[in-house]
Amino acid sequence: MRGARAFLDFCTKFRKIFSPASGMEEALKPPSLVANMKVLDKELFNKEIELPYIGVADNKVSDILPKMKKYLLRVDHYKPISRLDDNIVLFLNPLKVGRWEDLEETDRNYLVGKNIDAHLFKFHKEVLKYNNYSAEDVLRAVLPKDKEGMASFTKIGHIVHVNLREHLLPYKNVIGEVLFDKVSGCRTVVNKVNMIDNTYRNFQMEILCGEEDFVAKLKENKCTFEFDFSKVYWNSRLCTEHERIVDLVGTEDVLFDVFAGVGPFSVPVAKKKCPVFANDLNPESYKWLKHNAKINKIGDNLSMSNKDGKDFILNEVKDKLLGFVKERKRVFVVMNLPALAVEFLGAFNGLYSDVQRVEMDTPPTIYVYCFAKGEEPEEIARRLVVENFGWDVSAKILEVFRVRTVSSMKEMMRVAIRLDEDILWGSKKRKSSDGEDILQNKKNRGNGEEEGKEM
């Protein structure tokens, strides 16, 4: 019995190895001659292949389609159910099917029951063209195989944004044209040409393809956002994180958004009719924040300011937070500036040291974002929070959450901190474990969200 089973296994492997479908891995890929192309020539992507198909009568398509869907050819701009010589045919994926026997036995039997047998399994010569390949397929075929390829891109409204590494710059025009052609709704492709290192956290960019129009419009969390992408910061990869925080804030809660940007947290929360206090240092972000509040018909729920983050905490937050706490409202403070936000935590030390201490049944919660570079991002994030408060607030840390991977050994983290009486009525300067003073008054900087280099 064992010998018979082994023989059957061998026959199965033999049939797969020498099946016409084997060795076809390259069939649906662009031709090799497009490799290292620096000027896009779409004609060079033409490639003749033989596609398997099954002929089927008109009244049989709906009957057999459920069984045949898994075998159908799936390439861009090609209809797998088509007419050939006035007959309805199903074009099949040559990577899966090279002969009639490559169909599963139960499926073959089902087709035979519909009067469709091996005599209706044939081949047709077809030319695959540039528009039949995905952007991923084209770029993988063109870019050097011995170096890291283009990792990803982001789409912000009609703008496709890439961050090309140096070895990809000779191919930037091809990359731009391919993305322009193949990303739905794209009208502009841009490449970042410098790191974000200025106060307002925008960056210089070059247009790789398309029109010079940087005013993007998009939908997120049931809100419409408009902004000039060349002057403010927006990262579409944070859509899920924006949604997480928005969902946490209930209709009776209060939000302070210290680095609000154009409003990805503030606008949808304010739309719930919650009191929201949003701030951003960048005048352009502030302008578009007000614009987004208007087009989303926020009304009086959103109070906006254009200040340094520390100034906002020491004034706007201080003036209003305690009143909401006394009303037993849940209060959330969002600090989404990962490169710098932890440096502003010290502003909360002793925020109310000049007023009478009160007991808080529901202490506010801070959600502060940071970048953790190293092998233990959770511990690194905790340490950053403790160091910037200037004393051991470990017991106040409620959660450390990994938001996303920015690059190798670099994670964007979110730390939730209970903002209790010990912090708000404590001293403004604490001692570290070795006795040295830790200054809380960091350099006054900060606005919007921060990004890391990703491609």
Going by the annotation, the residues of the binding site for S-adenosyl-L-methionine are: 242, 280-281, 308-309, 336
For tokens 């952007």, the residue is 135
DSSP-assigned letter for residue 255: E
* CA separation, residue 53 to residues 81, 89, 223, 395, 409 (Å): 10, 6, 47, 66, 48
CA 103/CA 422 separation, integer angstroms = 70
For tokens 């490169």, the residue is 339
Backbone angles phi, psi at 44, to 5 degrees: -70, -10
Neighbouring-strand partners of residue 405: 411
Backbone angles phi, psi at 163, to 5 degrees: -135, 85
Neighbouring-strand partners of residue 277: 256, 303
3-state secondary structure 20-58: CCCCCCCCCCCCHHHCCCCCCCHHHHCEEEEEEEEEECH
DSSP-assigned letter for residue 309: H
* CA 77 centroid distance within chain: 26
DSSP-assigned letter for residue 315: I
CA 412/CA 240 separation, integer angstroms = 13
- Residues of the binding site: 242, 280-281, 308-309, 336
* CA separation, residue 23 to residues 54, 74, 94, 133, 252 (Å): 21, 19, 10, 20, 63
CA 282/CA 233 separation, integer angstroms = 10
Angle (nearest 5°) at CA 34 between 180 and 172? 40
DSSP-assigned letter for residue 316: I
How do beta strands 397-407 and 302-305 pair? unpaired
CA 312/CA 318 separation, integer angstroms = 8
**How many residues are present in the chain?**
455
Neighbouring-strand partners of residue 91: 53
- Please give the single-letter amino acid code of residue 399: E
